[in-house]
Every structure is written in structure tokens, then in C-alpha cells.
Structure 1
């Protein structure tokens, strides 16, 4: 990444100091999990602003669920996050796929080889977001869309993630998209509660780089390494044979357990 001539050194210093006080989306790491320390300004800024959105509102059916004093979820009936399974996906396993650091990496700083540049308005100012696609993401999404009911589920704001998805998902793999407001804000993290999807859990898989995102359902997870800019990365390509096998099972848990054991 090259420093931009538009932003002064003082401004860069100010941004870096602000970013250091913020927590990147999904940055609470499981014990022993080491992630690169670099944080895109996109995540830092959006995470810094998230305090405006974490309080549940009674008039928002998709707001994060309120928490009890001990951190447990309040027992409140909510409508499923996903619509009824469409006829063209009948019988298919539901695969929930994360966006940032799983499929793409984004930054406010200009990148020479950016695949997309997305304008995002924040507090009345339009920022250009530079997006890099993870290697083999096109082939991965195309094949996944053929085999599964694919759902994009990200803790990012829809104003950023929706236009990125429009450009990224050129084969129409994602049948549904879920954003930050569909997460549960639990003990400082945005958690993707798979029990709220409206699908049988033994037919649901989540692909995510952050264990904090699937802390409620670790047995349903296919963890992936966080990706930033390694253009030699082959993780998505390497996962396709596993998912081809998984698409033929009635219950995902045995295959997922074997995958974790062999990893």
C-alpha cells in the first residue's frame, strides 16, 4: 500500500492514533490464535462508530438482541433472519460466509492493485474504500453457489458491505445478505447467532476468519486464516474439495469434526 499525497503526515498520525484505540471487527481472539496486527482504517473507523448502533431499539426488529447482566441473551422471540428456503435451494445445506479478511480486504488507503473502489459516506463525508479480492474468490463463490444455499453474513455496515457484495458476487452465489444489525452484540463482539437463521443447525456451516463471530456455534464453523494481501494464498481454492464432500451429507457435524481433526 502506498501513502496518499492527499492526507498530510499529521493527519496520518492522527488516524493511526485513533485506530490504535479502536478494536477491529472480530478482533477478540480465541486463546492461541494469532492475527496480523495490521488494521485497515475501514474496520477501525466503523468499529469506533459502532457505539452509536449497539443499543437495541424497540422499533427495529433486526437490532442486536439485548443482553442480561451476566452476559447471557435475553429470551425474546424474534423472526428468523432468513426467508423460507427457496425452491431452487430445497434440500441444500446453508453456508454462511463472512466478508472482511475472509473473502476481501479493504482499506481507506489507496492500493495500486485494488479490485474495487467503493465510495462510502460517513458523517457527511464520502470516503473511497479500496478493496482487494482474496485469490480464487471468484472460483470459490461460483462453486459454492452451485452446491449450497449461500448467505453473506458480515459484522460490517451495509453501506459498505452491500456495494462490495454487488461487485464481488458476479455469479449470484449469495441468496441472502445479513449485516451488522443482524448480529448479536455479546460481551464486546458482534456474534453471528446461527440459531436465528431459521435453518436446522445440523444443516448450517459458517466460514469465518474470526472465532469470536461464531462463539455460540463453534461446531458449525470452518475457520479460515485472516487474509490481507498475500496474492499466493490458496485457502479458498483448497477448501472446494471439502465442501464438495460436505454438500452430499445429511448432517454436517461429523464432516466438520473430521475436518477440524485433520487440520
Structure 2
């Protein structure tokens, strides 16, 4: 049985690893309505689920160095099925949070409703936000979390996508820092390319 939208199981335990909170749609997977342009990995709730290239290797690399959790603005049933699909053992996740844990707010500029993910909710469970990272393709959901956010490019099914390969290496570099909120993470991808070119 996988952990559901409930208080984190390891609310006070801290083994020194950073809590890495992963988004699902357009971050780890792409859910496509039919007709499908490419054969999906599977079909859930009528949507074709495409796994981001390199996902298995990425999860293998971050599993040992981070404590993992999932927070999506999709439904809990959908999140649970996707987590069962992509994680070798979903019971090792600290928690799976879904839309019911988000805070709805109106975005006047885009005239849309945003399901914000407010990391401050984690402090009541004993998490230190200096030791929390969140990977998401939607920065508008993290207006209050910019210091914790690693923005990733949106995955929309491109089989040549290589973002997770670079992300895993960058996260490893970040894990050596004591305070995630003090590290400038905007433009991380271009900075990594520049650093490699200088060597």
C-alpha cells in the first residue's frame, strides 16, 4: 500500500539527506489525450502516459542521495497510479500529496486559477525548508517557494528529451550545500553548460 495524501511518515526523523519533492505531469511524465501521436507507456483514466526519457536512471541516482516525495496538482487517484507505475517501491516515498494539499489562488495576469504548492505546510511536520528542494515545470505554483524551486523544462512527450540526465548531476551538486534557499538556481541548465565548456 503506497502512502497517500496524509501527514508525512517521517515527520521528525532526519538522516541528513535533503527532501526532494517531485512534480509529476510535464516533469516526470506527460499525460496525453487521444489520439496518441506516439505509443504511450500505458493508459490511465483515458490518458496516454509517456515517461520522460531517462526517468528510471534519474530515480535510481536520486534515491540514495535524497529523501523523496511527490506533490502534484492532479487528483490523488491519478497520482497514486502514476507513482505505482514509475517508482520501484512507492512505499519508500515520504508522502504523496495531490491537489487537495494545494492552495487555490487566482492569477489576474493570466486570468487562471493556480493550484499553489506552499512548502510552508511542511514545517508543521518538522521539515526544515533549508533542506528541501522541489522540482517542477510550473513556477507559478511556487510563488512563495522560489528559494526551494529547481525549475525544469516542460516535458510534452519528446523522445529526445535529455533534461533528467542533466538534472540528476545538478541535484548532486546542490546536495552538498547546507541551505537550499541560499543557492541561486535560476538558469541552472545554462550555467552547467557554461561550466562544462570552461573545463
Interval containing the TM-score (normalised by the shorter chain):
0.7 to 0.9
Higher deviation after alignment, 156-165 or 171-180: 171-180
For structure 1, the 5+ residue unaligned runs are 1-61, 63-79, 121-127
TM-score (norm 1): 0.61
Per the TM alignment, residue 97 of structure 1 is displaced from its structure 2 partner at its CA by: 0.7
Partner of 1:72: none
Give the 3-state SS of the residue equivalent to 1:175 in structure 2: coil
The answer (yes or no) to whether the contact 2:42–2:49 under 8 Å persists in 1 is: yes
For residues 76-96 of structure 1, what are the alpha-carbon distances to aligned partners after superposition, in whole Å with 9 as ceiling and x for unaligned? xxxx94343475x62111111
Partner of 2:155: 227
Partner of 1:184: 103
Per the TM alignment, residue 244 of structure 1 is displaced from its structure 2 partner at its CA by: 1.2
The answer (yes or no) to whether the contact 2:42–2:48 under 8 Å persists in 1 is: yes
Per the TM alignment, residue 110 of structure 1 is displaced from its structure 2 partner at its CA by: 4.3
Match of 2:83 among 143, 153, 165: 165
The answer (yes or no) to whether the contact 1:141–1:171 under 8 Å persists in 2 is: no
Match of 2:40 among 86, 105, 114: 114
1 CA distance for matches of 2:7 and 2:143? 18
2 CA distance for matches of 1:140 and 1:86? 27
For residues 92-116 of structure 1, what are the alpha-carbon distances to aligned partners after superposition, in whole Å with 9 as ceiling and x for unaligned? 1111110000010112314342112
The answer (yes or no) to whether the contact 2:130–2:180 under 8 Å persists in 1 is: yes
2 CA distance for matches of 1:233 and 1:241? 16
The answer (yes or no) to whether the contact 2:53–2:161 under 8 Å persists in 1 is: yes
Partner of 1:146: 64
Per the TM alignment, residue 239 of structure 1 is displaced from its structure 2 partner at its CA by: 1.1
The answer (yes or no) to whether the contact 1:81–1:197 under 8 Å persists in 2 is: no
Partner of 2:121: 196
Q: Alignment length, in residue pairs?
A: 174
The answer (yes or no) to whether the contact 2:9–2:94 under 8 Å persists in 1 is: no
Structure 1 runs of 4+ aligned residues shifted over 4 Å read none
Per the TM alignment, residue 215 of structure 1 is displaced from its structure 2 partner at its CA by: 1.1
For structure 2, the 5+ residue unaligned runs are 107-112, 191-199
* Structure ID, larger Rg: 1
Higher deviation after alignment, 193-202 or 172-181: 172-181
Provide the alpha-carbon RMSD of the alignment: 2.1
1 CA distance for matches of 2:187 and 2:164? 19
Higher relative contact order (CA 8 A, sep 6+): 2
